[in-house]
Structure 1
Amino acid sequence: MNRMTPVTVDSADPVATPILEGFKTQYGMIPNFFAALGVDGASLSAYLNFAKALEENDLLTERLREMIALAVANANGCHYCVSGHTFSGKKAGLSPEDCIAAQCGKAEDAREQAALTLALRLIEARGHLEDAELAGAREAGLSEPQIVQICAWTGLNAFSNWINNLARPKIDFPKVPLQP
């Protein structure tokens, strides 16, 4: 159930309107997350520009980005994002089992595991990692620029989780349960 009034193309502010029109043209509808975030066009624009800049210069695979999104969403209790990223994670090559494991912060590949561990520790420790934790990420093969991008994706995903937890938009995807 929505706790905030989602915007439409007709009710959005001048910054959000063309963005929402673009979603409507591209998808035939406005995904509920963007209708919730679009309550403030500046925040919607900033979110999309941040994601675009990361995607255009990404040092992480789409698969790993989806795994991070799943781990962060589950940690933040965001049912909308767990469902959405399970949907998009499958398109990025994740199996249903991979998606559940990622929600739990688990991966079979050591480098992917290091990235998930780092993302979850960034949330838990609010960025105050121990030297040994940072060294462990490097030892697993993550470069410093990749570590910064993991931090950026973690923050961007946490922001979307918070918006969804605040607004509680209707889930547009097949619902997936949170993992304990």
Structure 2
Amino acid sequence: MISFKHVDPSTANEETQDAFAEAQAQFGSVINLFKVLGNAPGILKGILALNREVASSTELDARLIEQVAMLTSALNKCDYCVNAHMKVGQSVGLSKQELLLALEGKTSDSKAQSLLNFTNEVVRNRGLVSDKILYEARAAGFSDKALLETIGVIGVYTTLQYVRHVANPAHDFPMVEEFNADKHGANKEALFIAG
């Protein structure tokens, strides 16, 4: 598969350098996915701005955000992001086993499970969430604010995952051997089950 050009941070124009500086501040480095997005710095800045707001959530902690991100990555069949979130998720205190469970939309925590169920329906059904799943998430203690922020997390990573699929950046992180896109990803039969 043909890869898009990776923009070199040392030779990038001023607008792209500004976007890369924000990526560096948020993620600690300018990963290859961001180097590809350096071709469209306004898009990278927009994604990073939404990510910054989501990360500042008062209701979703970093562990929940990473579980949602891992499930979204799996459903969107994105090995690049699964690899990245395995590293980031462990850095915020999740175990490898907890992250592998998130690939399946599972967790041992009942409150977090209701949020993963919500995430699963949002991604698989393109936002068409059943009343039952919405009720369960609210009953578990998630406010409308938290659920909208969850959609924000899904939006950030779905956009990045689509870029990954189209642009094919070089991998930055070790492969998660347990991830199988055909097993974990969304398929046509799973879509539009809500409603």
- Whole-angstrom CA distance in 1 between matches of 2:134 and 2:48: 29
Residues 123/26 of structure 1: CA separation in 2 closer, same or farther (3 Å cut): closer
TM-score (normalizing by structure 2): 0.84
| Preserved CA contact (<8 Å) 2:22 2:48 | no
Q: 1:22 deviation in Å?
A: 6.0
Residues 23 and 117 (structure 1), Cα distance of their counterparts in 2 relative to 1, 3 Å cut: closer
3-state secondary structure, aligned to 1:15: helix
Q: After superposition, what is the alpha-carbon deviation per residue over 1:25-45, rounded to whole angstroms, capped at 9, x for unaligned?
A: 998963111101111000011
Distance 1:26 1:131 in 2: 35
C-alpha deviation, 1:10, in angstroms: 4.9
Distance 1:24 1:142, change over 3 A: closer
TM-score (norm: length of structure 1): 0.90
Shift of residue 11, structure 1, vs aligned partner? 5.0
Partner of 1:57 in structure 2? 57
Structure 1 Cα separation of the partners of residues 126 and 150 of structure 2 = 14
Is the alpha carbon distance of 1:100 and 1:2 closer, same or farther for their aligned partners in structure 2, counting shifts above 3 Å?
farther
- C-alpha distance 107-2 of structure 1, shift in aligned 2 (>3 A): farther
Identity of aligned residues (%): 27
Cα distance, 1:142 vs. partner? 1.4
Determine if the alignment matches structure 1 residue 82 to structure 2 residue 82. Answer: yes
Deviation at 1:136, TM superposition (A): 1.5
1:134 has 2:134 as partner:
yes
1:136-151 equivalence runs, <5 A: 136-151=136-151
Instruction: Give unpaired runs (5+ residues) of structure 2.
Output: 184-195
Q: Is 2:107 aligned against 1:107? A: yes
Instruction: Determine the structure 2 residue equivalent to 1:41.
Output: 41
2:165 alignment partner, SS class = helix
Could you tell me how far apart the structure 1 residues matched to 2:68 and 2:28 are?
A: 28
Measured in 2, the distance between the counterparts of 1:150 and 1:92 equals: 18
For the aligned residue pairs, the C-alpha RMSD in angstroms reads: 2.2
User: Gapped runs of 5+ residues in structure 1?
Assistant: none
Cα–Cα, structure 1 residues 25 and 132, in superposed 2: closer, same or farther, change >3 Å? closer
CA distance in 2, matches of 1:26, 1:57: 15
Distance 2:26 2:64 in 1: 25
